[in-house]
Structure 1
Amino acid sequence: MSYAVSSALQAAVFQELFNNSGVTVLVGSAIYDALPGGTLPALYIVLGAEDVRDASDKTGGGALHEFTVSIVTESAGFSSAKNLAAAVSDALIDAPLTLTRGTLVSLNFYKAKAARVGTGDMRQINLIFRARVADDA
């Protein structure tokens, strides 16, 4: 097992979202690896937590990455967040990502959770994807 492909996978996911017109028409460039300081836009994407397990087999090292992409909005309802979540899913499911290390074997949607955050109008949808990678290094 190797965690070595994690950074390459994250960078490829970020680039896929940033370059996807279905995503950017809804959120512009408000796609973050880490939240910037200051005022945030009313709708944005942030890459989140990751859980990784060994998926090595007789052909070599590999890992199964479960990673979260969060959609956050200040809108009172979920509509804009759900539209963006659909675009993110469309962009990532089975995307032919090119990694700087390793190879993406598969990328699939696993689950999602939509919830209000705090007592205000903030809404958040956490999309969890599963990526199987092989470490070719």
Structure 2
Amino acid sequence: MSYAVSAALQATVYQRLLADPAVSALVGGAVYDAVPPGEAPMTYVTLGPEDVQDASDMTGAGATHDFVVSVVTGEAGFHGAKEIAAAISDALSDAALVLERGTLVALWFVRAKARRVEKGNTRRIDLTFRARVEG
């Protein structure tokens, strides 16, 4: 197994979300690896947890990365958050991303969970994607 591609995958996903026109139209530049200190924007996207499993074979090192991209909003209702989640899904599903290290073999949507947090005042959608990488 190799965890060596993890940082490159995260950086590429982050850049893809920042550069995607549909995501940008909905959240502007409010895409974060970590929410900056101080008051957070009303709506933002953040990169979250990651689970990695070995997927090496006789041809070399590889891994599957299950990672979470979250939409967080203080707006009433889930409609706006779901539009952002759809744009993220469109931007990442089956994307042919080039990594600085290693190779992305495939990237696909796995699941999503929408819920209210913080006594129902905040909505959050966690989208889980799976990336198969080599290198």
Return 5+ residue gaps in structure 2 as ranges.
none
Post-superposition shift, 1:42? 1.0
**Matched residues, number:** 135
The residue aligned with 2:9 is: 9
- Residue 104 (structure 2) pairs with residue 104 (structure 1): yes
Give CA deviations for 1:6-60 in whole Å, capped at 9, x if unaligned: 0000000000000000100000000000110111111100000000000001111
Percent identity of equivalent pairs: 60
Partner in structure 2 of residue 84 of structure 1: 84
Equivalent position amino acid for 1:26 in 2: L
The aligned runs of 1:12-91 (5 Å cut-off) are 12-91=12-91
Structure 1, unaligned runs of 5 or more = none
What is the Cα-based RMSD across aligned positions, in Å?
A: 0.6
- In 1: Cα distance, 2:63 partner to 2:131 partner: 8
Greater CA deviation, 115-124 or 41-50?
A: 115-124
Q: Distance in 2 between matches of 1:90 and 1:120?
A: 27
| Residue type of the alignment partner of 2:42 | A
What whole-Å deviation, never above 9, does each CA across 1:93-123 have from its counterpart, x for those lacking one?
Answer: 0111110100000000000100000214200
Q: Which amino acid aligns with 2:9?
A: L
Between 113-122 and 13-22, the greater mean CA deviation after superposition: 113-122
Which residue number corresponds to residue 122 of structure 1?
122
